[in-house]
Amino acid sequence: MDRIGFIGLGTMGAPMAGHLLEAGYEVITSDHRSRPPAGLVAKGLGTVSRLDAVARAADVIILMVPDTPQVEEVLFAESGIAAGLSAGKLVIDMSSISPVATKAFASRIKALDCDYLDAPVSGGEIGAKAASLSIMVGGAEGAFERVRPILSVIGKNITLVGPSGAGQTAKIANQIVVALTIEAVAEALVFASKAGADPAKVRQALMGGLASSRILEVHGERMITRSFAPGFRIELHQKDLNLALEGARSLGVALPNTAMTQQLFNACTANGGQMEDHSALVRALERMAGQEVGADKVRSGGQAAKK
């Protein structure tokens, strides 16, 4: 059984590492920046003081950090992961970062006679805790098959999309769909609330029809109950849509609704909401409508109530 190095034990990484420990894997991390979660240590998480020591101790190294610069630093800093790699080891970057940078990182790791997979995930904190993440993988088929048992511990829908960078491209496409669907749900609930209807009842009705979706189920409820503690922060979704818009510009592709949704996220950030869950995008629409979604917030002045 491969020994696993895991860097990035935050909202997503901690439950993912926990599942690996529970499945019997030896998992090692570095405490060079912060102490690892006590709950993981109690489950048997090992710690070393430097990133290169993680790479020396592990057969497979997983990264789950916020953005492209952090991945580059973890991999290629003076005492980074690359400094501790030896032939035959495998790096899996499960962060959501630039596909262009991913191809460059993969090339540098492969030059060390190691394998590299980009394997970003979808499903948020809920999926990480439930081990039901969707995992989109880019890289060589042999490397993918080697780590499929590891990935199956933390995810359910695991797809080799194509060569290096293809996983990150798929994740950007995922984030476009998620962002635009959150925006659509938010518009619908703001409209219903402004019209005097109970948005909780409207959501319940929509869940039985063609408009039903996981986002309507989970994030629609968040909008109604005002539960915006972050499962996936607005600032991180902004980062992903920036990658989408930068990629679209280089490809000569128009993404008009992605650009509009990014402006709504920008409006949330301008009002201090960058650390809230991405479902809090509804706040930008609420400000424009002068109406807050919520079953207890429906105003008698709505159009339906006036009839």
* Residue 9: HSE in the Cβ half-sphere, 13 Å Cα cutoff: 25
Residue 155 tokens, joined: 């995810």
CA distance 62 to 17: 9
* Pairing of the two strands 27-30 and 46-48: parallel
Please provide the distance, in angstroms rounded to a whole number, between the alpha carbons at the two ends of the chain: 68
Cα 134 from chain centroid (whole Å): 10
Tokens linked to 65: 């950090």
Q: What angle do CA 60, 64, 66 make, to 5 degrees?
A: 150
Determine the number of helices (DSSP H) and then strands (DSSP E) in the chain.
Answer: 15, 9
* Active-site residue set: 171
Per this entry, what is the length of the chain?
307
